[in-house]
A and B are shown apart, each in its own frame.
Chain A
Amino acid sequence: MMPLGLRAAAVSLFLLALLLAAWHLATLPAGGRQAVSDEYAKLVGAAAATGQRSAMPGPLEVGAKLLEHLRDPFYDRGPNDKGIGVQLAYSLGRVLSGFALAAATAIPLGFLIGMSPLAYRALDPFVQVLRPISPLAWMPLALYALKDSHASAVFVIFVCSMWPMLINTAFGVASVRREWIQVARTLELRPPALALRVVLPAAAPTIFTGMRISIGIAWLVIVAAEMLVGGTGIGYFVWNEWNNLSIANILVGIFAIGMVGMGLDQAIGRIARLVSYAE
């Protein structure tokens, strides 16, 4: 019997093959019968008129497109024609700067909220009202206030990645085991040492869970934000290809979004494993 990991991989590959085959069959040319009136057929050409080519590209076409993009991901031929790598780099830059700003705000603030029952209660209504607001709702306000589309996108990322980190940090800090605090107190640790050497390592796994949720949300939101503000980024790329009616490019964009999102999640997961502990 093969080990479980190997068997799972085999099943995954089989499912992928099944999916690609179904996709391929569904997008095959549909035979030679003309489907539109003669005048229209003259206008659009034989291929479109007979349905020879589906508007939906098959896996081979998308695969070829993907290879084309991968062969030269970083070209820049003007505002509407940049390599997919360049677009992803723009998006990543926005996500990482918004996320970093949010982490720098939310983690200290969450620490404070978690340490102080007063702050916890006083700030709770604000968090409860602000958290369910779709981050994109802030976009017009950000554009008005910041007068810059790039900064506004970063702001939207900042807002949306703020809450999971804030809430998780506060929760992690508030639920540090009482006896660990007592150990530190009997050893006469001063408050800064207590915070850094007991509370922070104790709450670190919970904080990283918050960071992982945040980066996931940020990557979801950046696509929508870039569709709105336009100019650069993978979200803009996908929307631009919709305007170009290049479904193959849209699919390549979607695939790239998925891969990068997975990478971000895995990266935080790796770091989180370093600070995790078993009780």
Chain B
Amino acid sequence: MAFLKVEGLAKVYAGARGRPDTVVFEDVNFSLERGEFVCLIGHSGCGKTTILNVLAGLETPSAGAVIVDGREISGPGLDRGVVFQNHALLPWLTVLGNVAFAVRARWPEWPAARVRARAKETLAKVGLAGAEHKRPAELSGGMKQRVGIARAFSIEPKMLLLDEPFGALDALTRGALQDELLRMVQAARQTVFMITHDVDEAILLADRILLMSSGPRARIVEVVENTLPRSRTRADLHHDPQYYRIRNHLLDFLVSRARSAAATGGAPRLVRPGLEGGEVASASEPRERSPRAATNAGVRGATVVSLHSNA
């Protein structure tokens, strides 16, 4: 039984005065296993953030259901920690106050000292020890988002939802935060659902990458399995030829297929770039398998197709 199951999700905005309804996305199905890191990639406007908000319980879908840990969700909850796109820190509270705010909400029975201790501990994990008494306005963008991550982690959620958390950061800061997030997620065996439009970020972080077609009537068209070893780091990622196969596949999708893919219905295809059948590796590309990839052949209820058309 999957930890999170999304079934037949759709969002429709009723058309005003006789105009046709706007279907943002429809028939969205996917699932997450416990401890899995899944990224959702798609062009802006395809409803990525809406899907995340539905998972967070902040928006209600027009159709479909979200089942977390065997229970259908009916609203926001402390079992899901959310990291917002613009960090969404409360500016009148200090860094410590922002994290303590969440800890206090999660464990209202805890005495103040324990709440503070937990908040400090989580802040230390994101490298913010010493900055506890600053206000968000005094922090750089990267530090603000660190506080946002600490706040989401501090409540020990069953699942972490991240909405393009590093989108507004410069490349160096983004890289450092990706490394830290990966470290924390792996240490806590955290289940994560993250939205991004950064292909490299998805390859570094995700176990599986969901590709969404452009709206209207957006769908999840492909599920790309990350066939790189889980021990990958930002430093050695680009030395693995497999990385380029995945990257090219994702970019091909975003650049040329995202728009046309919406028309083709049916279940999302499971894709394992560079590892499907013999025809994938063309003569010009030396075939190198990453050590972990071969063991990663579990097919999760989706159609497996070969990639000869895009390799």
Contact surface of A with B, Cβ cutoff 8 Å = 177, 179-180, 182-183, 185-189, 197-198, 201-202, 204, 275, 277-279
Tell me whether B102 and A187 are in contact (CB under 8 A): yes
Is B60 part of the binding interface, using a Cβ–Cβ cutoff of 8 Å? Answer: no
- Expressed in whole angstroms, the minimum distance between the Cβ of B127 and any Cβ of chain A is 22
On chain A, the residues within 8 Å of B136 by CB distance are: 279
The stretch among B4-12, B81-89, B250-258 that forms the contact with chain A is B81-89
CB distance B78 to A180 under 8 Å? no
- Whether A279 contacts B105 in the complex (CB less than 8 A), given A186-B58, A186-B76, comes out as no
- Residues of A contacting B80 with CB < 8 Å? 186
Q: CA A186 – CA B106 in complex, angstroms? A: 10
Given contacts A188-B77, A188-B78, A197-B101, contact A183 B106 (CB under 8 A): no
Once the chains bind, are B78 and A187 in contact (CB under 8 Å)? yes
At the interface, is chain A mostly helix, strand, loop or mixed? helix
Q: Is A186 in contact with B57, judged by CB distance below 8 angstroms?
A: yes
- Whether B155 is near chain A, meaning CB under 8 Å from some CB there, is yes
Contacts of A279 in B (CB 8 A): 91, 136-137
Q: Is B143 an interface residue (CB 8 A)?
A: no
Residues of A within 8 A of B76 (CB): 182, 185-188
- The docked-state distance in angstroms from the alpha carbon of A186 to that of B90 is 14
14 contacts between A and B (CB under 8 A): A182-B58, A182-B82, A182-B88, A183-B88, A185-B57, A186-B58, A186-B76, A186-B78, A187-B78, A187-B106, A188-B105, A202-B90, A275-B92, A277-B91
A172 to chain B, nearest CB (A): 13
Complex: chain A residue closest to B157, CB-CB: A186
Question: Is B91 a contact partner of A198 (Cβ separation < 8 A)?
Answer: no
Asked whether, in the complex, the Cβ of B56 is within 8 Å of the Cβ of A186, the reply is yes
Q: How far is the CB of B107 from chain A (nearest CB, A)?
A: 11
Closest to B78 in A: A188
How far, in whole Å, are A201 and B135 apart by their CA atoms in the complex?
Answer: 14
CB distance from A151 to the nearest CB of B (A): 38
In the bound complex, residues from chain A placing their C-beta under 8 Å from that of B84 are 179, 182-183
**Contact assessment for B91 and A278 in the assembled complex, using a CB-CB cutoff below 8 Å:** yes
B136 closest partner in A (C-beta): A279
Interfacial residues of chain B within 190-242, with CB under 8 A of chain A in the complex: none
Nearest neighbor of A275 in chain B, beta-carbon distance: B92
Report the Cα distance A201→B101, complex, angstroms: 13
B88 / chain A contacts, CB cutoff of 8 Å: 177, 179-180, 182-183
**What is the distance, in angstroms, from B119's C-beta to the closest C-beta of chain A?**
13
Q: Which 4 A-B pairs have the closest CB atoms?
A: A278-B137, A187-B105, A179-B88, A277-B92
Which residues 25-83 in B have Cβ within 8 Å of A in the complex? Answer: 56-58, 75-78, 80-82
CB of B137 within 8 A of CB of A187, answer no
A276 CB to nearest B CB, Å: 8
